[in-house]
Structure 1
């Protein structure tokens, strides 16, 4: 068992980091962000019920394949930080058997608190034979990931992290260096809902090819179409940086989470000679509704949060392109363009005014150029960091690149 980590804080009072044990600690872990973001008008409070379910091994299927240890940092009785250390065997098999992950980091602006948290996670990972740590990942690349390092002027889109501007300094002061940047693009809706001419021509050429068809998700065969999305996702992302395949239960769990806001017109599936070839999954930005609930569905026994969400849902203006994948044998710019053109026209009919493409790996030149050609404006950057798990050891970066 990892011994409690401690160190002096900026005030001179001791900082102690201990593993999360029991319901009271879990509640403190879930509620810490409310203190960290108290004065941040852009923060979108997650639903507390959803966060508890995410941390529950009985309800989050990630725990069927991975192992997680949560830690809390306290100064006296006050909780001042938190972190999760993560072991995912799928990452070891596909990428680096020496690498563990960390995530769910939140901390007051005190280097000593951050250092104690990172050392606790590093020690726990090191005890399991891991010499490198990568993050933040909550808990894998299939969930929220990355630290916001540029673009603090807008509220976060659904499933995209948001953090105070001082977090990158805490990471870098504790020995972390950049592993990879994740880019976010926003595409304002054209007045006529049509993509730029060059992009539109590429889409038209793809649709004119023999056997090519792009269609919206069919609600009458929802399960079959989502199975297609899962299979293509795991295939298309199999060699991407730090990516791990989703199990059937993980994917089914994710679908249950986003199905209430899913619009079939915003999910496009490409077929070649009747066989699935690619998909584009766009969702209305639920964060625009969640901000109204302020993290709680009920207050004082009344469904105030539910009422606020219901009203705000009707005013959602932004969609997020959550995932896109094309099978290796069908990869070309035109097929992706055709799916996006169809999705953008549908978003226009639904009254949305902007689409966000997030996130895209910085060295994925193909998708970044394609997004720019669609009218995209680069507006936000998240970063994955890495360091060794050994205290005081020199940092060694293992190069990892995007595979198209």
Structure 2
């Protein structure tokens, strides 16, 4: 039973929106491994005008207050494309979501989760998954392993205490997502090198850099491969053009030709690999603000980034080639070429791959072959409403 002075209410207006954003900085600011996101980016994520995901989704933000002080927050949301997916792929009819979860204590956690559930029930949902903030393509899952080091760009980081608070509300695991880390300063094992060398002799294979000057065209090629390659995966929701447009604006400063590769077979694009220098490294000291001089430091870094870590958030091979030797050969070739560029041009020594579904045998086999190890685990929880 929540205490009488604990109230949960919908976010309404600019002051509430600001309070919703600021809570995360207050609750997580003392965690040395939490990387404060830029406030402008958080505001854009929750704005229907600036996040293309809202073109097929609706949601409501909630604030928890105790004695007039903001002590918790949550979003409840419904993705119409997720409702259309086959239930055996994790979502489907009746599935709603909550995310952007922060709470000062267990009582607040219970209250905001209950409010999100009530909102979803009112919309006819019969099951909920969380945390998913906001799209499955953004920051899905709760960090349950890997609290001892900062996340890489576009990955979440949450207090360890949240796990028990969520599970206390009757939630059980729906899916585990993992990331792998590896030392990229050294060459891959001999077997991988031989596979790459054999691919280089195959005149039907071409591994090319993207051309940032043709950003829209290259993004369209990657989107087409992605939606085909990931179409049967758990939790898949097709990426739409409005989302791609908005993500493109956000990530374009992090796009470097030699870090994103497209594999062609007989002249047809059949695979891709996206790698991003870890923006969280220059962001961490800024504490979420570009003022007074943060913007200048960030612009300088973006002009010629030096990053210890490179993250591979997305990789895909067209469905018809999956489970073939060709698929793994193309993957190893792209990984090796990007590894070389990362070390030589950006001073990187560490790579992170993911997130990856913990039952994605193809990607796990590739991660094992290049001697990478799981460094972070995230859980997406579920509950019947």
Q: TM-score range by the shorter chain?
A: over 0.9
> In structure 2, what is the Cα distance between the partners aligned to 1:174 and 1:380?
24
- Structure 1 window deviating more from structure 2 (97-106 vs 328-337): it is 328-337
Deviation at residue 104 of structure 1 after TM alignment: 0.5
1:179 aligns with 2:174: yes
Normalising by structure 1, we get a TM-score of: 0.89
Query: Does structure 1 residue 349 correspond to structure 2 residue 332?
Result: no
Distance 1:35 1:122 in 2: 25
Aligned to 1:322: 313
Report the equivalent of 2:138.
Answer: 143
Secondary structure of the corresponding residue to residue 238 of structure 2: coil
| Counterpart in the other structure of 2:160 | 165
Per-residue Cα deviation, 1:328-373 (whole angstroms, up to 9, x for no partner): 1222211111111111111111211111001111001110121121
Distance 1:199 1:141 in 2: 32
What residue number does 1:190 align with?
Answer: 185
Residue of structure 1 equivalent to 2:23: 32
Deviations 1:55-112 (A, max 9, x none): 111111111110011111111211111111110011111131011111111111x222
Q: Secondary structure at the match of 1:53?
A: helix
Q: Distance in 2 between matches of 1:207 and 1:385?
A: 44
- Secondary structure at the aligned position of 1:82 is classed as strand
Aligned partners of 1:386, 1:29: CA distance in 2, in Å?
A: 24
User: Paired residues, what number?
Assistant: 373
Match of 2:194 in 1: 201
Please give the alpha-carbon distance, in whole angstroms, between the structure 2 residues aligned to 1:99 and 1:88. Answer: 9
Contact persistence 1:281–1:323 (CA under 8 A): yes
Structure 2 equivalent of residue 70 of structure 1: 61
Instruction: Calculate the TM-score normalised by the size of structure 2.
Output: 0.93
2:55–2:242 CA contact under 8 A, matched in 1: no
* C-alpha distance in structure 1 between counterparts of 2:381 and 2:201, whole Å: 44
3-state SS of paired residue (1:271) = strand
In the alignment, structure 2 segments of 5+ residues that lack a partner are 87-91
Residue pair 1:216, 1:266 contacting (<8 A) in 2 also:
yes
Q: Is the 1:293–1:309 Cα contact (8 Å) retained in structure 2?
A: no
- Residue segments in structure 1 that go unaligned for 5+ positions in a row: 1-6, 390-404
CA distance in 2, matches of 1:260, 1:237: 25
* d(CA) in 2 for partners of 1:159, 1:113: 26
CA distance in 1, matches of 2:351, 2:180: 8
Report 1:3-402 matches (<5 A). 7-9=1-3, 14-95=5-86, 96-108=92-104, 110-191=105-186, 194-298=187-291, 302=292, 304-310=293-299, 314-331=305-322, 332-350=327-345, 351-389=347-385
User: How much does 1:207 deviate?
Assistant: 3.8
Provide the rounded CA distance (Å) in 1 between the counterparts of 2:335 and 2:37.
29
How far the C-alpha of 1:311 sits from its partner, in A, is 5.5
Distance of 1:23 and 1:80 partners within structure 2: 18
Alpha-carbon spacing, 1:240–1:51, altered in 2? closer, same or farther (3 Å): same
1-structure distance, mates of 2:150, 2:30: 14
1:155-195 alpha-carbon deviations (Å, 9 max, x no partner): 1111110011101001111111011111111111234xx32
Query: 2: distance between equivalents of 1:220 and 1:175?
Result: 50
* Partners of 1:318 and 1:355 within 8 A in 2: yes
Tell me the distance in 2 between the aligned counterparts of 1:204 and 1:244. Answer: 36
Determine if contact 1:196/1:374 at 8 Å carries over to the other structure: yes
The answer on whether the counterparts of 2:177 and 2:355 sit within 8 Å (CA) in structure 1 is yes
Change in CA separation of 1:311 and 1:294 when aligned onto 2, cut-off 3 Å:
farther
